[in-house]
A = this chain, B = another copy of it.
Amino acid sequence: MESVSFPPLSRVAVSGGTHGNEMTGVYMVRHLQKEKIDKIGSVSVSTVLSNPRAVEICRRYVETDLNRCFTEALLNSPVTDSSPYELRRAQELNAQIGPKGSKEAVDLLIDIHNTTSNMGLCLILYSIDWLTLHILKYLQSKMASVEVRAIQLDIPIAEAYSLESVGKHGFAIEAGPQPNGVVRADIHNLVKEAVDHIFSWLQEFNSGSTFEGGEVEAYTLVKSIDYPRNPVTGEITAAVHSQLQDNDFKLLQRGNPIFMSFSGETVKYDGEDLYPFFVNECAYYEKKIAFHLARKIKLTLPPIKVTD
């Protein structure tokens, strides 16, 4: 396979607090800012606390989910004093580290998130980007103690709604399980190790190393399943079953229990074999998602190197 080349990645943004109660990114960004880290080797680093007002009150957002505000339509919509805070903040961030889709945008944007689901360490990627997939492959080779997974969302970049879509390249790091509002040392260490490896990769890449091609696996979203709910009040009437809870990325097969109602009945899965993820994520109760289901795909990567 012929190798593909990309310009050097000299400007990188690391962001946290896009959701104000996901604490790993909040503390990591605060620490980088306190230490005044603005350059690592050949790479200039911008550190961004994305939603400071939500961080202040330790909630996911103030008025609307910031991480749904980065579509081209929303970034270019007129804002007034009555626009939601997060829409105004999204446009500020786009001016600061974008604009999305322009040559001024940062070369790579790493946005740090947490989940209450037992997802370990995942990268969430838009469409197919050889460069970010090579970073995934590198992390998989370097982090032996943990399985680094990728969730690949098939959304055109203009419609991509999350912060990382503002960079020329970008991904979210999703790490869990961690309750909202809590920082766990194990999760912090996992994300810190990943970020350190990413900066090592960037040094190697910028200095001219060729990264060999190969295969990587990724999970693509097929559909989402809601909790059983009271049709009148909308209240949930069942919990995720203990046999599904904490079993993100374990194959779900027809007949496996997925819910246990509060009166004790088991609800079984009745569909094709798929991989659950974001199982019982706190923030998805309001989005009417008990878990997502994914198919596993294989991607064959070309070798890559920096443009001569």
| Pairwise interchain contact A262-B31, C-beta atoms closer than 8 A | yes
| Pairwise interchain contact A182-B280, C-beta atoms closer than 8 A | yes
Q: How many copies of the chain does the oligomer comprise?
A: 2
Q: Which residue of B lies closest to A176 (CB)?
A: B179
Does A260 count as interface, using CB distance less than 8 angstroms? Answer: yes
Q: Which of B27, B35, B185, B242 contacts A245 (CB 8 A)?
A: B185
| Pairwise interchain contact A182-B282, C-beta atoms closer than 8 A | yes
Does A241 count as interface, using CB distance less than 8 angstroms? Answer: yes
Known: A30-B235, A31-B263, A184-B239. A282 touches B179 (CB 8 A): yes
Known: A27-B262, A262-B28, A282-B180. A241 touches B116 (CB 8 A): no
| Pairwise interchain contact A245-B184, C-beta atoms closer than 8 A | yes
**Whole-angstrom distance between the alpha carbons of A184 and B179 in the complex?**
12
Q: Which residue of B lies closest to A35 (CB)?
A: B263
Q: Which residue of B lies closest to A187 (CB)?
A: B239
| Pairwise interchain contact A239-B188, C-beta atoms closer than 8 A | yes
Q: Which of B28, B31, B180, B263 contacts A179 (CB 8 A)?
A: B180
**Whole-angstrom distance between the alpha carbons of A281 and B184 in the complex?**
11
| Pairwise interchain contact A185-B241, C-beta atoms closer than 8 A | yes
Q: Whole-angstrom distance from the CB of A189 to the nearest CB of chain B?
A: 7
Known: A27-B262, A28-B262. A182 touches B116 (CB 8 A): yes
Does A285 count as interface, using CB distance less than 8 angstroms? Answer: yes
Q: Which of B28, B181, B280 contacts A282 (CB 8 A)?
A: B181
Number of A residues with CB within 8 Å of any CB on chain B: 30
| Pairwise interchain contact A239-B180, C-beta atoms closer than 8 A | no
Q: Whole-angstrom distance from the CB of A151 to the nearest CB of chain B?
A: 20
| Pairwise interchain contact B262-A188, C-beta atoms closer than 8 A | yes
Inter-chain contacts of A262 with B (CB < 8 A)? 27-28, 30-31, 188
Within 8 A of B (CB), among A25-54: 27-28, 30-31, 35
Does A240 count as interface, using CB distance less than 8 angstroms? Answer: yes
Inter-chain contacts of A282 with B (CB < 8 A)? 179-182
**11 pairs from A and B in contact (CB 8 Å cutoff):** A27-B262, A179-B179, A180-B181, A182-B282, A182-B285, A184-B239, A184-B242, A185-B239, A185-B245, A185-B260, A188-B239
- Which A residues form the contact surface with B (CB < 8 A)? 27-28, 30-31, 35, 116, 177, 179-186, 188-189, 235-236, 239-242, 245, 260, 262-263, 280, 282, 285
Identify 4 new A-B residue pairs, CB closer than 8 A, beyond the known A180-B282, A181-B282, A188-B262. Answer: A28-B262, A31-B262, A177-B179, A189-B242
